[in-house]
């Protein structure tokens, strides 16, 4: 999913609509959150994967973003905070 040795040392992300293909690798969590937001607001579930192995799902439920992380990284919480700028968010525990 992520090519080793490409893109520097920072986290990289890929986003897809649940059941779809992953999009291109991005190095910006802001861009990944924007892609996830677009999918969620359109009624889908976005899946955001990081090069560290942590994954989070993003849904828009009853006027709120719900971010569900799978893994120990802290970026899903940051993703939730970015999404909260465009609506209420709820980050569930791991």
Q: pLDDT, tens digit, for every residue of 68-88?
A: 999 888 888 889 888 887 665
Q: Is residue 14 within 8 Å of residue 1, measured between CB atoms?
A: yes
Regions of the chain with pLDDT less than 70: 1-9, 86-94
DSSP state, 26? B
The rounded percent of the chain whose pLDDT value lies above 70 is 81
Model pTM greater than 0.85? no
Q: Which helix (H) or strand (E) holds 68?
A: strand 64-70
């Amino acid at each position: 999913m992520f090519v080793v040795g490409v893109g520097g040392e920072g986290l990289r992300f890929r986003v897809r609509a649940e059941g779809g293909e992953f999009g291109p690798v991005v190095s910006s969590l802001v861009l990944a959150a924007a892609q996830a937001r677009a999918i969620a607001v359109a009624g889908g579930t976005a899946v955001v994967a990081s090069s560290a192995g942590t994954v989070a799902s993003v849904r828009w439920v009853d006027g709120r973003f719900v971010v569900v992380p799978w893994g120990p990284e802290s970026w899903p919480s940051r993703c939730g905070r970015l999404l909260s700028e465009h609506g209420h968010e709820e980050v569930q525990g791991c």
